[in-house]
Amino acid sequence: MKRLFALVISMAAIMVACDDSTQYKISGRISNAEGQYVYLDELKVTSSENVDSVKVNNSGEFEFDGIVQHPTFFLLKLSEKNFITLLVDSAEQVEVAGDAANFSRDYIVSGSEGSALVQELNQHLSHTKHQLDSISSLHVLFRTDPNYSTLKKKWEQEYKEVVENQIQYSQDFVTSHPFSMANVLALYQKFDNDNFVVQDIQSLKTAASALNSFYPESEHVKALYANTVKLIKDERNARINQLIREQGKNSPDIVLPNPDGKEIALSSLLGKHVLIQFWSAQDRGSRIMNPVLVELYKKYNKKGFEIFQVSVDENRYEWVDAIDQDKLSWINVGDMEGSRTALMNYNVQKIPYNYLLDEEGEIVAKDLKGPALDRLLKAELN
């Protein structure tokens, strides 16, 4: 009897878990689609996957249901070119109404906040693109007009304003809906194949961070977060490279302690050709490079060549021991915390890695290996 009671309780629990209140439902009416199939596809990051299909009944009605763990993008399709995008959360009762002839452009959706936001985003961008196309067509129509030059300036300004308004709208949308998955769509919308609407890194960072805290298991959120991290890294690298190209002269400076604890600044070596060499006592490639540097240092040191070697080690004993074993008689510095600031400032992605500076601190070459460094030093110092 006890076993039977436990079984009844278990079955009841399962029935409660599978109750309709935990399922989404997408239903509606599409006029002039009677007898046709309507398809429900889940929109993935790089593709879509069919979930189900049903035949529209004689009254134009259809219905889907299912379970999702977090807000999920779906395509509700009559054909490959006639579909709408929905953003459906668990337990939502979504209702869609439209006509088969213009389903993708004109429909009504209710019962789903995410789907309403997706519709708003798509319709706003569609209107913007229509405005831009209309302005662009004027250039063709009036190219032979005597006043074309004046008109062209006017249209270019109008075009610019339409673009700026769309960008502002999209950025405001992202700010206003920080925890909505609709932001994923907002951040991936494009004016054309090459130009995203939202290009502001701060907007990307804010949205990616907020969504990742709420929906860390979402495939779309994972992709957005990874892409944002990459963009931030690329922007930082580009900014550092530009800084190095534009400022050049010992920029940025490096001030780190040598094995005796005395801080030595890279900028103190102005007037010499300086090789900034990033290395590690534990790195095989760095240790192989050291004997080559020893020979070049002997060959060119008296002609004004200096080496400023930056250790990325965290073990002082191994660092000092490697200096002694490899007979490194030049300047060696490191904070024994990875010298991370110096690495970041010089955009070092691997070790060993180096930059060669001339007497004025201008960077003349980077990532030089033995023969190439020898040839360049010979040309610079002889």
At the fourth CATH level, which superfamily is domain 255-381? Glutaredoxin (3.40.30.10)
Q: Tell whether the model's pLDDT for residue 103 goes beyond 90.
A: yes
Averaged pLDDT of the chain: 88
What pLDDT is recorded for position 276? Answer: 96
At the fourth CATH level, which superfamily is domain 19-111? Transthyretin/hydroxyisourate hydrolase domain (2.60.40.180)
What pLDDT is recorded for position 242? Answer: 65
Beta-strand relationship, 273-279 and 305-311:
parallel
Alpha-carbon distances of 108 from 24, 27, 73, 124, 173, rounded to whole Å: 18, 12, 17, 15, 21
Q: Tell whether the model's pLDDT for residue 289 goes beyond 60.
A: yes
Per-residue pLDDT band for 369 (boundaries 50, 70, 90) equals confident
Mean pLDDT of 328-332: 97
pLDDT in tens, 297-317: 999 999 999 999 999 999 999
Q: Tell whether the model's pLDDT for residue 145 goes beyond 80.
A: yes
Q: Tell whether the model's pLDDT for residue 75 goes beyond 90.
A: yes
What pLDDT is recorded for position 244? Answer: 55
Per the CB < 8 A criterion, the answer to whether 71 and 181 are in contact is yes
Per-residue pLDDT band for 5 (boundaries 50, 70, 90) equals very low
What pLDDT is recorded for position 13? Answer: 43
Q: Tell whether the model's pLDDT for residue 293 goes beyond 80.
A: yes
Q: Greater confidence, 131 or 233?
A: 131
Domain residue extents for the chain:
19-111, 118-243, 255-381
> Alpha-carbon distance 191 to 343, whole Å?
37
